[in-house]
Amino acid sequence: MIDFQHVSKEYPDGTKAVNNVELHLEKGACTVLVGSSGCGKTTLLRMINRMVDPTKGQVLVNGQDVATADPVKLRRDVGYVMQGSGLLPHRTVLQNIQTVPLLRGEPKDEALRRAKLQMKNVGLDASMGHRYPAQLSGGQQQRVGVARALAADPDILLMDEPFGAVDPLVRAELQAELARLQAELKKTIVFVTHDMDEALALGDRIVVLRAGGEIVQDATPAELVANPANDFVRTFLGMADGRRTLEVRSTPEGQVVTDRFGRPLGVVGQQEKPMEPGLPA
């Protein structure tokens, strides 16, 4: 679906942001690029919709080199959500969400219908449609940002630290909403974060990067936690300090899951798992 082939980016001031990256992103999956500040995540993301052009190598979307695509059309066809939502301040919520459908020449009533549907999809009350972005909370603005990106019905959704500026509770809510939406929509999502918990919550695949856009590990969340490639990944996961090492302890009250200090975190799940499709009952 999206292929980075020997991709490098050197900015005009000589900064080597990304060096010889080889990466394949699956259609319909959420791939999270995770790594500390400045490791090249945003640079990689922006190469997909040509906000940044590589200095070497190629980025292919469905087999086509994006360098040969019209950048304006590409940006309309690829959804983009960023931190701080990037909403137009003098346009209402509904006007913001309708931007791309109207630019594409869709009839006004169809664009409005789609905008209202997307507001509902991201959990925004219809009454907010006529507010301006400054009249919304940070979390609500991010929801509008997601609705705006989805209103264009893109196959690909690029998300650059979209929930970075909201408090932890709202952030967890937004992550859960996105996971719910994605289970239904199956978009190809590329999600950038420096937060490993967020990566584990959302990623079908997680690509761990370090300085210079070097890929340290590309794995499913379970593989990453079970088999971190090296100390860098272990530290980034918080395994080096034991944060993810949980224990099951027997107590007079029953079995309890604790952290490495013995602090109770929860219990071992008792819920029945749904049967795999196709297996005999």
Ligand X SMILES: Nc1ncnc2c1ncn2[C@@H]1O[C@H](COP(=O)(O)OP(=O)(O)OP(=O)(O)O)[C@@H](O)[C@H]1O
Helix (H) or strand (E) holding 191, with range, is strand 188-193
The position carrying tokens 């990453």 is: 224
Report the residue number, 17 or 151, with the smaller CB distance to ligand X: 17
Instruction: Quote the tokens at residue 193.
Output: 């974060």
Report the residue number, 102 or 165, with the smaller CB distance to ligand X: 165
Report the residue number, 17 or 30, with the smaller CB distance to ligand X: 17
Separation CA 120–CA 128 (nearest Å): 11
Binding mask 40-69 for ligand X (x = CB under 6 A): xxxx--------------------------
Site for ligand X in 184-203 (CB under 6 A): 194
Task: Give the torsion through C-alpha atoms of 147, 150, 152, 158, to 10 deg.
Answer: 110
Using CB under 6 A, pick the residue from 15, 62, 220, 235 that binds ligand X: 15
158 lies in the binding site for ligand X (CB under 6 A)? no
13 lies in the binding site for ligand X (CB under 6 A)? yes
Give the side-chain half-sphere CA count within 13 A for 143: 29
38 lies in the binding site for ligand X (CB under 6 A)? yes
Report the residue number, 41 or 171, with the smaller CB distance to ligand X: 41
How many Cβ atoms from other residues are within 10 Å of residue 281's Cβ? Answer: 3
Judged by CB under 6 A, which stretch of 8-16, 22-30, 216-224, 269-277 contacts ligand X? Answer: 8-16
Query: What is the separation, in whole angstroms, between the first and last Cα of the chain?
Result: 36
| Cα distances (angstroms) measured from residue 246 to each of 88, 108, 128, 238 | 45, 54, 43, 12
- Chain residues in the site for ligand X (CB under 6 A): 11, 13, 15, 17, 35, 37-43, 194
